[in-house]
Structure 1
Amino acid sequence: MTEQTKPTFIYTFGYSKEERELCHLEMRCFFGKETDENILISHVNISPSRSPFIRERIEVTLEGDELQDILDQVTAIKMADETFKVIFSKTNDRKPPHTIEYQERRDIERSVGWLIEGEADVHQPDHTFGMATVGGRWYFGHYEKSEAVWLQHTKKPREYSTALSTRVARAVMNIAVPNPQGIKAIDPCCGIGTVLVEGLSMGINIEGRDINPLVVTGSRENIAHFGFNGTVTMGPISEVTEKYDVAIIDLPYNLYTHATPEDQFSILKQARRIADKVIVITIESMDEKVKESGFSIQDRCLTQKGHFTREILVCT
């Protein structure tokens, strides 16, 4: 197999038109770039199941300018007693008339499979290999399909009508903490804990807080329901004394709470005090208040849930 100084990964994506901005913001936070091609190549290693938009990942072990280059190299693969399967990704950046359709993908899978020394098993293989074309080159490597973990969290014991969907909450968590190593996060207006559940499910060090005793109880119940250990305290953000790397602020809005513009501004100012980076989620324009609080807006996107349009701001 070819030697590479850094591992190379290929990711494919799927999202609706309404989710495009959110997916692209998550891409930028993960990979430092975005693409409309639904396929991206990067040295950044992200578990595909972290993102609600990543469909699959290939950890590249072989590459070449032509399919024949891959065919020549796979003959060196010896599977011994283990079985394997080859999947050619249906997502690529080729444009008509150069697209690779279903039958051709199956033919390529068989051609590659015939050259690998070992037993093929399309149903329960010990190893799955993936293939893709990106930027005119051909790639082959270890394949991993995304698991929709967040779907397991959609039915909570406690619900809240205006809470973020689990899909959006997971993306927001990734935008806030693309690399969890050594990061300490807080959601000081956590509500019933939708963001907390997603963060804890990804092994992120995050704790919650809220001023409403009912939702604090609900948040704790939701976290425990999914088998996670998380801390949720009661009280205003002004009483937080610890310092955090990042805070996620889903601003309470006066349509459903008694929060005033002054309350929202106070929350932002307190967030500036306790965190180096803040993700602000709001249903109304907060640019001026965010700036007055001492933040600089680094990135942003819009996302929709029913008739709600929320803006997500990445602030430092």
Structure 2
Amino acid sequence: MKQVTPSGEFIYTYAYHQDEKDLCQLEMRAFFGKDTEEKVVKSKHGIAPGRSPFIKERIEVLFEGEELPHILKQAAEIDMNDSTFKVIFPKINGLATSDKVEYAEKREIERQIGFVITGKADVHNPDVTFGLIPFEGRWYFGFYELSESIWFKHQKKPREYSTALSTRVARALANIAVPNPVGVKAIDPCCGIGTVLVEALSMGIDIVGRDINPLVVDGSRENIAHFGLSGAVDLGAIADIDQQYDVAIIDMPYNLYTHATSLEQQDILKHALPFTEKLLVVTIDPIDHMIEGAGFTITDRCIAKKSLFLREILVCERTDKFFQFAGELQQA
């Protein structure tokens, strides 16, 4: 294929249930620094589509234009050489009315673009798949990638219990906590059976687990090994952690084995302060006052729903770090 240089921009399409919208938008803000009511995001941040349980497709933009003829003109310069190709116009439910294109017209546009590209088309097993999408009054064309629902494969675990986080929620939590894994060390100090650990480890996040209950520690280790992953899970209290981590994910204990009291919840939060600057908390109880009392400031939040069971997800920064960052923003 003749060398075509990507523009550095990406278009992501999303698919989620209405109950998941709040959580999905929190993940968007973690990845891209913004969210949207539409199910399409344009960003310079390159996120592997399989990382998110909500991203459906990604187009790595090669070129753009105000009108379709501008796309056709640029596509005509592509020479596939010995590589086969396919052009896809994705079905997107969240586009603005002005950007919507009917089914028959989409197929005709795919045909037009395929006709001007030099090379052999293969609709069944192409070497390269291209995608085309209208967004905010412009057309974008580039390399197309369909998301793989890796989280779905993790639903059936050797060890599980009914109140554990779903794999979709757990995967989103890991992304919100660690949107960019490079150089980031994470810990789940109340890891339970390891639902968050499995999702995080499967995405290459450097994370360790810990729990005070030997039964769930054994279960967590078994679940991790079952999926061919490798990650440490230690038996011990959060108060005994003596290493530093960039972020901690705490799903407040609420399961078959233990339900933390208010005092225990406060202790968990206070013990997290010495070893992490960023904290992601999952709770079924209102604990804003506990977060603040432990020395953290809530910077973002959402509600995650599982049938009638509601959990609140709180993104927190250590208070001294938060105010330091706020001061730096003011000076800038």
Query: With structure 2 as the length reference, what TM-score do the two structures score?
Result: 0.92
Pairwise mapping of residues 155-194 of structure 1 onto structure 2 (< 5 A)?
A: 155-194=156-195
CA distance in 2, matches of 1:105, 1:72: 18
Instruction: Summarize deviations over 1:89-128 as a string: whole Å, max 9, x none.
Output: 22263316x6201111111000000000000000000000
How far apart in 2 are the matches of 1:289 and 1:276? Answer: 16
Kindly provide the amino acid, as one letter, of the partner of residue 45 in structure 2: V
Cα gap change, 1:124 to 1:278, in 2 (>3 Å)? same
Counterpart of 2:68 in structure 1 is: 67
SS at match of 1:190: coil
1:2/1:62 contact within 8 Å kept? no
Partner of 2:96: 94
Specify every segment of 5 or more residues in structure 1 that has no aligned partner in the other structure, as ranges: none
Q: What amino acid maps onto 1:147 in structure 2?
A: E
Pairing 1:81–2:100 present: no
SS of match in other structure, 1:296: strand
Cα distance per residue 1:214-267 (max 9 Å; x no partner): 000000000000000100000110000001000000011488625221111000
- The aligned residue for residue 112 of structure 1 is 113
Q: List structure 1 runs of 4+ shifted beyond 6 angstroms.
A: 1-4
| Equivalent position amino acid for 1:108 in 2 | I
Kindly report which structure 2 residues correspond to 1:274-313, keeping only aligned pairs within 5 A, or say none: 274-313=275-314
Identify which range, 83-92 or 198-207, moves more after superposition: 83-92
What secondary structure is seen at the aligned counterpart in 2 of 1:309? strand
SS of equivalent residue, structure 1 residue 228: coil
Letter in 2 for 1:94: A
Q: For residue 142 of structure 1, what is the amino acid of its counterpart?
A: F
Q: Distance in 2 between matches of 1:262 and 1:181?
A: 35
- Residues 118-170 of structure 1: CA distance to partner in whole angstroms, max 9, x if unpaired? 00000000000000111100000001000000000000000121110000000
Counterpart Cα distance in 2 of 1:37 and 1:305: 23
1:2-41 map, 5 Å: 7-41=8-42
Aligned residues: 314
| Residue 235 of structure 2: aligned partner | 234
Q: Show the counterpart of 2:322.
A: none
Which position in structure 1 is the counterpart of 2:320?
none
What amino acid is the match of 2:67? E
Q: In 2, Cα distance between the equivalents of 1:201 and 1:228?
A: 7
Deviations 1:13-52 (A, max 9, x none): 0111100000000000000001111011000010000000
Q: Map 1:137-286 onto structure 2 (within 5 A).
A: 137-253=138-254, 257-286=258-287
Instruction: State the TM-score, normalized to the length of structure 1.
Output: 0.96
Could you list the runs of 5+ residues in structure 2 that have no partner in the other structure?
318-332
8 Å contact kept, 1:9–1:58: yes
Q: Percent identity?
A: 60
| CA spacing shift, 1:266–1:82, aligned 2, 3 Å | same
Shift of the 77–254 alpha-carbon distance from structure 1 to 2, 3 Å rule, reads closer
Query: Which SS does the other structure have where 1:114 is aligned?
Result: helix
CA distance in 2, matches of 1:28, 1:124: 35
Shift of 1:3: 6.8
Aligned CA RMSD, in angstroms, stands at: 1.5
Measure the CA separation in 1 of the matches of 2:90 and 2:193. Answer: 38
Distance in 1 (alpha carbons) for counterparts of 2:216 and 2:230: 17
Q: Is the 8 A contact 1:254 1:260 kept in 2?
A: no
- CA deviation after TM superposition for structure 1 residue 314, in Å: 0.2
Alpha-carbon contact 1:62-1:73 (below 8 Å) kept: yes
Tell me, in whole angstroms, the C-alpha distance in 2 between the residues paired with 1:17 and 1:213: 38
Superimposed CA distance per residue, residues 164-209 of structure 1 (whole angstroms, 9 cap, x where no aligned partner): 0000000000000000000000000000000000000000000000
| Partner SS for 1:123 | coil
